[in-house]
Amino acid sequence: KAGVTQTPRYLIKTRGQQVTLSCSPISGHRSVSWYQQTPGQGLQFLFEYFSETQRNKGNFPGRFSGRQFSNSRSEMNVSTLELGDSALYLCASSAMTGNTEAFFGQGTRLTVV
């Protein structure tokens, strides 16, 4: 069974640009969550999607958005990039929502210059 796939693995963007990251969950999984990892803040929850609906949102500005498609694949978008958005962005896939194991992808390393 294939794991969680995130693309691209690495990305360099300029301040002010926007970026779209993609996540394909484990086959059959319907919940996709996104996290940001930085050295200072650790792993922080961005949002969760289940059956194309956003179920939960973390404490991030509106520049961070996401969506989920009918095949459970998900994208997250960051607009007007800031230097502080440089981070490892991780996608997690779960079979259901609530009290189930979440399996992570390899992440996308975003560098904003």
Q: Is 5 in the site for other proteins (CB under 8 A)?
A: no
The 29-58 contact track toward other proteins, x by CB under 8 A, reads --x-x-x------xxxx--x-x----xx-x
> C-beta of 113: minimal distance to other proteins in Å?
18
Piece of 12-20, 59-67, 69-77, 91-99 that binds other proteins (CB under 8 A): 91-99
Q: In angstroms, rounded to a whole number, what is the distance separating the alpha carbons of residues 57 and 102?
A: 17
> C-beta of 3: minimal distance to other proteins in Å?
9
Q: Can you give the binding site for other proteins, defined by CB under 8 A?
A: 4, 6, 31, 33, 35, 42-45, 48, 50, 55-56, 58, 88, 90, 92, 94, 97-107, 109
